[in-house]
Copies of this chain bind each other. A is one copy, B any other.
Amino acid sequence: MTFPVVGMVGGGQLARMTHEAGIPLGIRFRLLSDTPQDSAAQVVADVTVGDYRDLDTLRAFAAGCDVITFDHEHVPTEHLRALEADGIAVRPGPDALVHAQDKAVMRTRLAEIGAPCPRNRVVTDPADVQRFAEEGDGFPVVLKTSRGGYDGKGVWIVRSAAEAEEPFRAGVPVLAEEKVDFVRELAANVVRSPHGQAVSYPVVESIQVDGVCDTVIAPAPGLPDELSARAQRLALTIAREVGVVGHLAVELFEVRGADGSSEILVNELAMRPHNSGHWTMDGAVTSQFANHLRAVLDLPLGDPRPRAPWTVMANVLGGDYPDMYRAYLHCMARDPGLKIHMYGKDVKPGRKVGHVNTYGDDLADVRERARHAAGYLRGTIDE
């Protein structure tokens, strides 16, 4: 048997969906999961339960794998360097991944590349936040811990130096950024392989609610071709310059320039399959998960083009009612074309437990179908 073994670190839903995409490829998929109950561990045959922060655990896990990749960006950079020194193929590698792990490193590198970013710099204490504000348009200012944040965690919007105490308590560098008055949020998703092939998905609009992704529309409605092409070129440039292998999500702000024209600024980077790419599971010829696997295996990449004029993804969050399976009856009967993707997670209020995809020719209809299904599953819609 010559089919390779892919080891994925992290047992979340991204690993679950990567396994799903790997089954048709005939590859062997090995999982390092925190617990046997994690989302991916429920559906993968070959699971190692262990702590990704422990180098010996990582080494033992990696020993039988042809390549290691990631469900999340939390593996310590020094561990990844140790694995590489052992001769393990780590994809994306630590030199690339650090740009998704450390926001300060990311901003420095993006500046070098010439990628447009919000005004930013590392700040040392609340007084320094005050100076940062005065250097620009004043408060509010966005503060982010350079490491460890996700889904709005590790991010604060402060209106004064007095409000800026908390971010410094974690003892990690804090990055200050101007609060961008954006028109909307976009994401430019690309996949790059070790030999430098890259594909670009259509630029999508991402709608956040309370700091959590709520809806993704593919492609971003009304986005001028020129701006779409610029966003895709930017993502491809970042992928190349940073040396990304696998899926790269470039989260963007669309802003109105002084002359009224649209501009883009880079908000965040993620080097793994990403929530803004879940629509590709039903909406693109090749999903982000399949292409991530093809990239880390250095296989030729699959066609990223959309299969329908519009695809909409809506995240399913936990509500007050734990029995989402029962809600399938109404959702499936109402919309036979609805694509449900559940993660096997216990329902907790506000927790991402799945997503739905809808696609079709009429954006308003496609969007309404996704909104209804996500709301019905959560329990906020009851008809």
> Interface residues, chain A, CB within 8 Å of chain B?
1-4, 16-17, 19-20, 23-26, 28-29, 41-45, 47, 199, 281, 285-286, 294, 299-303, 307, 322-326, 328-329, 332-333, 336-344, 346, 354
Contacts and interface: CB of A to CB of B under 8 A. Distances in A.
A147 to B, nearest CB: 31
A337 to B, nearest CB: 5
10 contacts: A2-B322, A2-B323, A20-B20, A20-B23, A24-B339, A26-B354, A43-B45, A45-B45, A199-B336, A302-B336
B43 A333 contact: no
A326 to B, nearest CB: 7
Contact of A332 (B299, B324, B338): B299
Nearest to A281: B24
A17 B303 CA distance: 22
A44 B346 CA distance: 20
B2 A28 contact: no
Given A25-B342, A28-B42, A286-B336, 4 more contacts: A20-B24, A24-B339, A26-B343, A45-B45
A295 to B, nearest CB: 12
A163 to B, nearest CB: 41
A47 to B, nearest CB: 7
Contacts of A299: 328-329, 332
B2 A332 contact: no
Nearest to A305: B337
Given A24-B340, A344-B26, A300 B333 contact: yes
A277 to B, nearest CB: 15
Contacts of A307: 307
A199 B332 CA distance: 13
Most chain B CB neighbours (cut-off 10 Å) among A24, A281, A285 = A24
Contacts of A344: 3, 26
A1 B322 CA distance: 8
A35 B342 CA distance: 29
A306 to B, nearest CB: 12
Contact of A47 (B3, B45, B199): B45
A354 B42 CA distance: 25
A348 to B, nearest CB: 13
A303 B25 contact: no
Most buried by B among A20, A23, A281, A344: A23
A188 to B, nearest CB: 19
Contacts of A303: 336-337
A325 B3 contact: yes
Contact of A26 (B3, B300, B342): B342
A246 B147 CA distance: 49
A213 B43 CA distance: 30
A302 B17 CA distance: 20
A325 B20 contact: no
Given A300-B333, A336-B301, A342-B26, A44 B45 contact: yes
> Which of A281, A328, A337 gathers the greatest number of chain B CB atoms within 10 Å?
A328
A44 to B, nearest CB: 6
B29 A43 contact: yes
Contacts of A16: 23
